[in-house]
Amino acid sequence: MAAVQQELIRRGASARVTACGCLGPCFDGPNAVVYPDGVWYGELSAEDAGAIADHLEHGTIYGAKRSEAPGD
């Protein structure tokens, strides 16, 4: 999460990262959800920060780490 926020700040983007409690699928973690798109990502690492920042900034979905929402 910190890596994504740092990348957004470095880019001067207006999007921000907000921490939350449990998203549910711990076995898939670390996880993230991009809103308002409702796109879920799983098994993230700091190396994925640029791709997640791209989604937040430009709407580009990062297919390599996309996952299903719990219950879907």
pLDDT digits (tens, 9 = 90+) for 12-71: 999 989 988 888 877 777 899 999 999 999 999 999 999 999 999 999 999 999 999 887
The pLDDT value given to residue 72: 66
- Give the count of beta carbons closer than 10 Å to the beta carbon of residue 9: 12
Torsion region of 63: left, alpha or beta (phi above 0 gives left; psi -120 to 50 gives alpha): alpha
pTM comes to 0.89
The pLDDT value given to residue 26: 74
* Token pair for 12: 């001067």
The pLDDT value given to residue 27: 73
- How far, in Å, CA of 37 to CA of 56, rounded? 9
- Considering only residues 4 and 28, tell me which one the structure prediction assigns the higher pLDDT: 4
Domains of the chain: 2-67 (3.40.30.10)
